[in-house]
Amino acid sequence: MSDEIGRDNTIVRYSAGDRTNHWVVAICFVLLALSGLALFHPAMFWLSNLLGGGTWTRILHPFIGVVMFVAFILLSMRVWSDNRMSERDWQWLKHWRDVVNNREENVPEVGRYNGGQKLLFVLVVCMLGLLVSGFVIWRPYFAPYFPVGLARLAATLHAICAFAMICAIIVHVYAGIWVKGSVQAMTRGTVTPGWAWKHHRAWFRDVIRRGQ
């Protein structure tokens, strides 16, 4: 048996390192999204209490952002090679109606990640946008070095990227709840053979082939 198949007949999907890395990004993201919304819309300003008030929100938000970016890059490197779009993934995406209605019978086989999960990699672009624009509006340290016109553009871009990312992450979180067993994959690292067979059959077969 390989390392991927545990003694209790479960399959290891995420190592302890993967899980730690993922949750560092996730915790940073939640703090950033909530504190960022506080500064985005007056109706959300009460969320600034999360980091200890408006001024602490202004101080901490960018530092948490840098931590998230670094952790996200490390996480991307871990999963990059498994997330390249293939013809099979486009076919899978064409069956989105079957997917959302839990009718997998007609859906093409899926490898370690499905087409939807791979699309989430668009977030890399958002992350880069947030990092670059974030530095341009980071006061008091970096903003004074940029012209005000650029700061205006950066503030708008920061809001747009954050908006796209929050929407994508809402979908990501819900998908984890929707497909039962996914949360366990990211909290305990393991999935049942049935889960792997049902949702990522090509990956499941790779695992048992390697396990021989």
* Min CB(126)–another protein separation in Å: 14
* Min CB(77)–another protein separation in Å: 28
Which residues of this chain interact with another protein, rule CB under 8 A? 37-45, 48, 53-55, 57-59, 100-102, 104, 137, 139-140, 143, 148-149, 151-153, 155-156, 159-160, 163, 166-167, 170-171, 174, 177-181, 192-199, 204-205, 208-209, 211-212
Which residues face 191 on adjacent strands? Answer: 11
Q: Do residues 158 and 133 make contact, with C-beta atoms less than 8 angstroms apart?
A: yes
Rounded to a whole number of angstroms, the CA Rg of the chain reads: 20
d(CA 178, CA 99): 11
* Both structure tokens of 211: 């396990």
Closer Cβ to another protein, 56 or 121, answer by number: 56
* Min CB(209)–another protein separation in Å: 7
Q: Which of 41, 61, 95, 172 is catalytic?
A: 172
Residue 172 falls in the annotated catalytic set: yes
Cα dist. 67→70, 91, 139 in Å?
Answer: 5, 36, 17
